[in-house]
Structure 1
Amino acid sequence: MIGWLQVVGVALIAVGTSLTLITAVGMVRLASMFARMHAATKPQVLGLTLMCLGLAAVMQRPRVAATLALVVALQMIVAPISAHMLGRAAYRLGRVNTSALVVDEYTDDIERAAREITADEDERPGAG
């Protein structure tokens, strides 16, 4: 006999799988780097979380649930960090269409840092 918890688990797995498929389609179809980063992190993490919840509901074992909780926790930590580093690297390499940005604070930060480095080099003894 199939319990109601298993039916809920299968439904969660189906919804999570759909979100992961949406992530894959978004990665292929979206044009800008930032839109792809959004597609790679938000629906993917939610999809994985729903699939892990569904698997825990279907399996109904504490050890499996603990392992899946660890997987979800690590994914929630790693996905934003990796998206940030990917966006930062793409921006620094010039792979981002900056004309599409509404606010671009990173360019100001890079220019200010370059000015500070230049000023520090000029103040060193023997510079000249």
Structure 2
Amino acid sequence: MIEVVKGTLLLSGSLFILLAAIGLVRLPDLLTRMHATTKAAALGVILIMLASAMHFAEVGVVARSFAIILFILMTAPVAAHVIGRAGYFVGSKLWSGTVKDELKPNYDPLTHELKSGLETQENARRVPRESDPE
């Protein structure tokens, strides 16, 4: 029974990694490619690490497998966010079918500054005073 579970974990992990590779080749822009690779590859590696922990069933291997899983869960989303943000800032083109670009009103391409959503909302609600320059 354990062999079936290990085989299923290995096969499904490999399929998720294959899906990530196909997404990397087929998807139209940086952000969608990153979404596919981050989610599918991370899940694929996690499943393969679980299978290796079950196969060897030694304390050292299981500890390393869980450390790798924890490392991937902590670093993959952060790395994807930073790479996506850097890609947006350098002017990576969005897909023509992109419906909404939520960073556009908050990002100044000349200074490369990104305003938070709170600053934008406060400026929209602010009532101009007589002392404000026009």
Does residue 29 of structure 1 match 2:26? yes
Could you tell me which residue of structure 2 aligns to residue 59 of structure 1? 56
**Higher helix fraction (1 or 2):** 1
Could you tell me which residue of structure 1 aligns to residue 72 of structure 2? 75
Q: TM-score, normalised by structure 1?
A: 0.77
Paired with 1:16 and 1:99, the residues of 2 have a C-alpha distance of: 32
Number of aligned residue pairs: give it: 112
CA apart distance, 1:109: 2.1
CA apart distance, 1:32: 1.5
Identity, % of aligned positions: 33
Paired with 2:32 and 2:95, the residues of 1 have a C-alpha distance of: 13
Does residue 107 of structure 1 match 2:109? no
- Which residue type is aligned with residue 109 of structure 1? N
Structure 1 residues 105 and 51, CA gap change in structure 2 (3 angstroms):
same
Paired with 1:94 and 1:41, the residues of 2 have a C-alpha distance of: 21
Paired with 1:58 and 1:38, the residues of 2 have a C-alpha distance of: 30
Q: Which one scores higher on RCO, CA 8 angstroms, separation ≥ 6?
A: 1
CA apart distance, 1:103: 3.1
Could you tell me which residue of structure 2 aligns to residue 122 of structure 1? none
Paired with 2:114 and 2:85, the residues of 1 have a C-alpha distance of: 16
Could you tell me which residue of structure 1 aligns to residue 17 of structure 2? 20
Gapped regions of structure 2 (runs ≥ 5): 120-134
Matches of residues 80-99 of structure 1 in structure 2 within 5 Å? 80-97=77-94
Report the secondary structure of 1:15's partner residue: helix
C-alpha contact (below 8 Å) 2:49/2:69 kept by paired residues: yes
Paired with 1:81 and 1:114, the residues of 2 have a C-alpha distance of: 18
